[in-house]
Amino acid sequence: MGAESGFGSGNAAGAGAGEEGVVSLRADVPAPLLLAMRQFIDRHPNWDQYRLVQAALAGFLVQNGVANRDLTRCYLASLFPGSPRFCGAAGASGAPLGRAA
C-alpha cells in the first residue's frame, strides 16, 4: 500500500450502537498484485474485488493475532457467503457487491 492510502467514511457517520459501519478504503497496489487479483476473480466468478480484499484483510489480521469475534465473523462470512451462521455479523454480510472490471 502506498503513501497515498487513506480511509474515508462511508455510512459509518451516524451509525449507532448495534448498526454496522462501512469505511471506504483507497490503496495503491503494485501492478503484479492487481493482475493476480484480476486473474483470481476471472477464474472464480463468485468472488469480486470487494469480497477478495475483505477476506484478505480480515484473514491477515486474524492470522496475526487480532482476537475479535466480529473480525472472525467477517472473515468467515467472506469465505462462506451463503452461511446464515455468519451473515448476521456486524460488517459481514458476505454478499458480493458486484463484479468490477
Element (H, E) at 50: helix 49-63
71-97 burial code (b ≥16 CB/10 A, e <16)? bbbbbbbbeebeeeebeebebbbbeee
Q: Which residue has the higher pLDDT, 25 or 12?
A: 25
Average confidence score pLDDT of the chain: 72
Determine the pLDDT at residue 85: 67
pTM (two decimals): 0.59
Neighbours of 4 (CB within 10 A): 8
Residue 30 backbone phi and psi in degrees, to 5: -65, 150
Helix axes 31-43, 49-63, angle to 10 degrees: 110
Determine the pLDDT at residue 39: 96
Instruction: Give the integer Cα–Cα distance in Å for 2 and 7.
Output: 13
Q: What is the pLDDT of residues 47-72, one digit of tens each?
A: 999 889 988 998 899 889 988 888 88
Determine the pLDDT at residue 97: 37
According to the per-residue pLDDT averaged within each range, which of 37-41, 71-75, 90-94 is highest?
A: 37-41
